[in-house]
Amino acid sequence: MDTFSGKTAKEAKHYFSDLHKTVIESFDRLFTDLDDHLKKHLQTFQSRVDVSESAVIESNYLKNIEQDVSDDYDRLSKEQEAVRQTIASVSDICSASHPDNVGEEMVENDEQLAKVSGPQVMRA
């Protein structure tokens, strides 16, 4: 990165640092918010529905919700891969790196979902 110098290089480094830092921070906030919302929904579910042992939930409703979550997960995974590729493409001129704990949080969320709705296929 030191060999990349000059006015244009300086401006490019500044641009990429600002842009990618903003994108990374936005995705970090997004995943944190998603995690917080999931935990809140799980707590709400357990306090309102799961308290009663006679609680019944229609399986079609759960399948629709599961499909919605799966679709959102797929879209977010594609965005995550796009961010990783973008970061990789500028790694020679920018020191940005991707968040490391997103995968761990997704596994934790899958485990929480499994507790509520039974075993699910774990995502890689």
Q: Of all residues in the chain, what percent carry a pLDDT higher than 90? A: 11
45 found inside a domain: yes
2 found inside a domain: no
- Domain range enclosing 111: 7-117
Q: pTM of the predicted model, to two decimals?
A: 0.39
Q: From 74, 60, 65, select the one nearest 106 (Cα to Cα).
A: 74
Least confident of 21-30, 73-82, 89-98: 89-98
Range 25-31, long-range pairs (CB < 8 A, 24+ positions): 27/79, 27/80, 27/83, 27/99, 28/99, 30/76, 31/76, 31/99, 31/102, 31/105
Q: How many CB atoms lie within 10 A of CB 76?
A: 16
Strands (DSSP E) contained in 1-124 are none
Q: Which two tokens stand for residue 64?
A: 């629709």
99 found inside a domain: yes
Q: Which two tokens stand for residue 124?
A: 């890689």
Q: What's the confidence (pLDDT) of residue 32?
A: 92
Q: What is the number of domains present in the chain?
A: 1
Q: What is the pLDDT of residues 10-60, one digit of tens each?
A: 888 888 888 888 888 888 999 999 999 999 988 888 787 766 666 676 778
122 found inside a domain: no
Q: What's the confidence (pLDDT) of residue 54?
A: 66
